[in-house]
Amino acid sequence: MDGIVVIDKPAGVTSHDVVSEVKKILGAKKAGHTGTLDPLATGVLPVCINEATKLAQFLSAQNKTYLATMLLGVQTDTQDTEGKVTEKSDRVVSETEIQDALRRLVGKVKQIPPAFSALKHKGKPLYKYARAGEFPEIPAREVEIFSLNVRDISFPYVTFDMSCSKGTYIRTVCSDVGHALGCGACLSGLRRLQSGFFTEDMAVSLGNAAVAEKKKELLSKMLDMAESLPTFAAIEVSEWLAGKLRSGFQPDVEMMRQNVLPFLAAGDMIKFTDSDGCLVAVAEMQLSAGMMADQEGSAQAARMLRVFNKKK
């Protein structure tokens, strides 16, 4: 039982809680998510099961899409309504000012991660420092907001959707907008609509159904590992070659000449699958397809990143 189930995370529970419940329902040996959602947030939470936990590093790097609601005039220590109110303002701002402040965030921006976050500093989550009254200086990180659209303005609430790179804190987006407007703001509601390939349509709500019913639905909606990497070029290999790859063989030019796709470039991510479509390995191209003609057959063509055990 290896694959990915997309959970529609409810509000009020941690991502870790959801993973633990899924692991227990399925009786899985290993499980992990691909990117934390705060307890306040709902929506798309991909959970990797058993061998699929090896994919987390590739899936967590993908872009995300959110629907967020911002509360104007209120600042908190956590940058959302779950925290302690630190300041209030009755400053009135126009819809045009709000639109402009949000629009200016589109593109590459610098963000200072929230003090109350799971981001680790010297091996310890920031929220543990904050709870102890310690606030280490964390450098700003560059993130990218690809699009941001206001859906509704009903003072003091503003609802917007946004698409962004991994590591973007929507709480911080709200806090930064509030600072720019001079009235302060915090996040009051958040739903993740998409995480990379994974969408709301794929999500399973665990709800209050019996464990047996939950397990049946999770298994029916479990996604295959190979199909969960749609942007990785697929190369089908023989059972003999699949065995070599699983044993640690680094793909050389001789092997890749027979299998490589002509459009591949150095740095491209590829996935090897067997004749049954099962994921064998994930690798990164070290040479472009065009460069291989001038290389010796023993030269390394791709670097293995992860190998996956054959289903029993």
- Residue at token pair 């709902």: 42
The per-residue pLDDT for 117 is: 67
Q: pLDDT digits over 61-101, tens only?
A: 789 999 999 999 999 999 999 999 999 999 999 999 999 99
pTM of the model: 0.89
- Give one DSSP letter per residue of 110-165, joined into a string: EEPPPSSSS-EETTEEHHHHHHTT-------EEEEEEEEEEEEEETTEEEEEEEE-
**Residue 44: strand, helix, or coil:** strand
Q: pLDDT digits over 250-284, tens only?
A: 999 888 887 767 888 999 999 999 988 899 999 99
Select which of 2, 38, 176, 274 is catalytic: 38
- Is residue 229 within 8 Å of 271, Cβ to Cβ? yes
Complete domains list, the chain, with CATH: 3-62+197-226 (3.30.2350.10), 64-195 (3.30.2350.10), 232-307 (2.30.130.10)
Spell out the residues 6+ positions from residue 63 whose beta carbon is closer than 8 angstroms to its own.
146, 163, 164, 165, 166, 196
To the query of whether residue 38 is one of the catalytic residues in this protein, the response is: yes
- Is residue 193 within 8 Å of 8, Cβ to Cβ? no
- The two structure tokens encoding residue 18: 């959801």
- Using CA atoms, how far apart are residues 222 and 26, in angstroms rounded to an integer? 11
The per-residue pLDDT for 35 is: 84
- Using CA atoms, how far apart are residues 116 and 75, in angstroms rounded to an integer? 14
**Residue scoring higher pLDDT (262 or 197):** 197
Candidate from 8-12, 200-204, 208-212, 300-304 with smallest mean pLDDT: 208-212
